[in-house]
């Protein structure tokens, strides 16, 4: 491939990504309101203590990815589970002091023969699926195998194994009817995972991930450089730091929910990740009095296609 062709592909990828993010931000997402998101980000220490007392276990797949690395760190810091099982194709060394007292076990599996490793998904109350690749890295068929086949097999085995709360990492712009491969696959996985009937399903749709990625993704790197200032001007609008996504996931897990399915876009993820100050009853009642203020409930934005 000539240098000109490579540069051209990078520019096209970047333009498509930026346009999809802008489109995604301009469409309404009628899922969560501001008040509920704030409640999920409040009383974190108290909720963590109550959750720990339940003595639950969890499994996580995709822990070697950029979001996965941060989620494992948050799980090690919070120790909200009595034990965490890291399910992957290879063993990872965790030599940092952070993981010294972290109760975890690594399960090595073959994702092409995942049914043979069904026991790795049995008897866990919480499942966390962060698997994902790109067409550029794995090719069209490789992308479909990882992001659809592998993810759906994990979800199916988790449900059969008794998982009550399944956490699925998706992407902004996920749309099963999209003409683009990436958002279409993400949307199909979301829809089919909902059909499995988990007691609680949490779907996360982060925007462009901000991180120091080790592998080379020129288009994404350029987009990160162009959009990074947005994280300071309007956090969660067009970018999602992997550290923010990880914190939001932990805060979601420890929070109770009355909904069987909840979906969080990038702005919701940003809000959940930030601890909120709990107001007193008198102050809350005062603020609830009719005034010339914006209503408390605010619909989130939903991306349509990428």
Angle between helices 181-195 and 135-144 (to 10 degrees): 40
Q: E-strand spans in the chain? A: 28-29, 57-61, 83-88, 104-108, 126-129, 165-169, 200-205, 208-210, 239-241, 261-265, 300-301
How far apart, in whole angstroms, are the C-alpha atoms of residue 59 and residue 87?
7
Exposed, middle or buried by CB within 10 Å (0-12, 13-18, 19+), for 164? middle
Q: Give the Cα separation of 105 and 302 in Å (integer).
A: 37
Asked if residue 153 lies in contact with residue 129, where contact means CB atoms within 8 angstroms, the answer is no
Q: Please tell me which residue in 25, 150, 182, 204 is annotated as part of the active site.
A: 182
> What is the Rg, in whole angstroms, of the alpha carbon atoms belonging to the chain?
20
Active-site annotation holds for 186: yes
Residue 182 annotated in active site: yes
Instruction: Exactly one of 186, 247, 267, 301 is catalytic; name it.
Output: 186
Taking Cα atoms as reference points, which of 44, 79, 14, 36 lies closest to residue 268?
Answer: 36
Closest to 202 in 3D by CA, of 306, 128, 304: 128
Please return the burial class of 271, using the count of CB atoms within 10 Å of its CB with bins 0-12, 13-18 and 19+. buried
**Which residues does the annotation mark as catalytic?**
182, 186
């Amino acid at each position: 491939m000539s240098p000109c062709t490579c540069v051209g592909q990078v520019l096209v990828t970047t333009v498509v990504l930026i346009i999809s993010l802008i489109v995604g931000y301009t469409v309404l997402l009628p899922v969560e309101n501001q008040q509920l998101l704030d409640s999920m980000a409040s009383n974190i220490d108290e909720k963590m203590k109550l959750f720990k007392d339940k003595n639950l276990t969890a499994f996580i797949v995709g822990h070697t990815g950029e979001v996965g690395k941060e989620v494992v760190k948050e799980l090690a810091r919070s120790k909200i589970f009595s034990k965490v099982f890291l399910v992957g194709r290879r063993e990872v060394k965790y030599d940092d002091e952070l993981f010294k007292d972290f109760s975890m076990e690594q399960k090595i599996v073959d994702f092409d023969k995942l049914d043979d490793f069904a026991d790795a998904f049995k008897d866990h109350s919480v499942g966390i699926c962060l698997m994902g690749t790109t067409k550029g890295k794995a090719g069209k068929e490789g992308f479909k195998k990882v992001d659809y086949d592998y993810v759906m097999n994990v979800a199916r085995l988790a449900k059969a194994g008794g998982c009550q709360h399944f956490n699925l990492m998706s992407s902004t712009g996920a749309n099963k009817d999209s003409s683009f491969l990436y958002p279409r696959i993400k949307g199909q996985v979301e829809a089919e995972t909902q059909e499995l009937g988990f007691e609680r399903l949490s779907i996360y749709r982060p925007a462009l991930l901000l991180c120091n990625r080790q592998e080379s993704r020129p288009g994404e790197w350029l987009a990160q450089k162009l959009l990074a200032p947005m994280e300071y001007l309007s956090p969660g609008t067009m970018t999602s730091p992997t550290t923010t996504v990880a914190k939001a996931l932990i805060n979601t897990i420890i929070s109770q929910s009355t909904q069987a399915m909840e979906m969080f876009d990038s702005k919701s993820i940003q809000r959940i990740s930030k601890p909120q100050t709990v107001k007193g009853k008198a102050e809350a009642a005062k603020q609830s009095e009719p005034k010339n203020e914006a209503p408390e409930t605010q619909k989130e934005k939903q991306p349509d296609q990428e």
